Structure 1
Amino acid sequence: MKFTAIVVIAPDDYEDKAIEYAQRAGATGVTILVGKGIGGEAKKSFLGLTFEGTQSVLLMVVGRHLTAPILKALHPLLVKGTESRGLAFAIPIEHLTGIDLRQVGKFEDYLRHEDD
């Protein structure tokens, strides 16, 4: 079985929706990290200080066959016209240990019933 790590970086207020969209597309588990970020255009506060927005960093390990469906599901949430409201990308995983065997079973069931 081949796996991919999907990383989603989005504003905190998009966290729940991003998880919901990813799970509907087949993601089973999500690790949530907290981060800070500055976009391409830094925003200024009334004191002239640079605003650093709080970001959610979502990490999912999924079967490689789920990568495109999950990224496609996240696209409408993260992109509106020419405006980016977040970022999602995938990284192939070469070696993996410690994954919940129930999750592997779900992936295997999916592959067996993929043509149904």
Structure 2
Amino acid sequence: MRFKLILSLVKEDITDRIVDAAKKAGAKGATIIPARGTGIHEAKTFFGLTLEARTDIVMLLIEEHIVAQILDAIKKAGQFHKPGTGIAFVVPVEQVAGLESQIESFKEEVKKSYF
């Protein structure tokens, strides 16, 4: 069984939309990490105080055969074609521990998708 990690960096207000779209496309779950970052656009200021919109990192450990469909669902749900909405990228995963109880269901899903 091979896995990849999809990382999606999005504004807090669309996190739920991203996770829901990923689940509908086949993801089993997600880990959400609050974050902050900088980009090409400067943060807005108000009376000298910097106002930063909270960003979330949505992490999805995905079976390799459904990565493309989940990434596509995330792009659409997050409207990533618009500037400043978010980004997503895929990272290879060398080894996984802790999924032993789910491996059989993963194998069944792989069989279903190929047959």
* TM-score of the alignment, normalized to the shorter chain, above 0.5: yes
Kindly, what percent of the aligned residue pairs are identical?
A: 28
Query: What one-letter code is carried by the residue in structure 2 that aligns with 1:67?
Result: V
1:81 Cα deviation (Å)?
Answer: 4.3
Alignment CA distance shift 1:93-1:40 (3 Å): same
Separation in 2 of the partners of 1:45 and 1:32? 27
Q: Deviation per CA, 1:50-74: give whole Å up to 9, x if none.
A: 3322111111111011110111001
Alignment CA distance shift 1:14-1:88 (3 Å): same
Bigger Cα displacement from structure 2, 81-90 vs 58-67 = 81-90
Matched position secondary structure for 1:60 = strand
Q: Report the counterpart of residue 9 of structure 2 in structure 1.
A: 9
Query: What one-letter code is carried by the residue in structure 2 that aligns with 1:4?
Result: K
Root-mean-square deviation (CA, aligned residues, Å) is: 1.7
Query: What one-letter code is carried by the residue in structure 2 that aligns with 1:112?
Result: K
* Structure 2 unaligned blocks of 5 or more: none
Q: Report the counterpart of residue 96 of structure 1 in structure 2.
A: 96
Matches within 5 A, 1:16-95: 16-79=16-79, 81-95=81-95
Separation in 2 of the partners of 1:100 and 1:26? 19
Q: Report the counterpart of residue 108 of structure 2 in structure 1.
A: 109
Matched position secondary structure for 1:53 = coil
Q: Deviation per CA, 1:2-25: give whole Å up to 9, x if none.
A: 000111110110111010000011
* Structure 1 unaligned blocks of 5 or more: none
Give the count of matched residue pairs. Answer: 115
1:80 Cα deviation (Å)?
Answer: 5.2
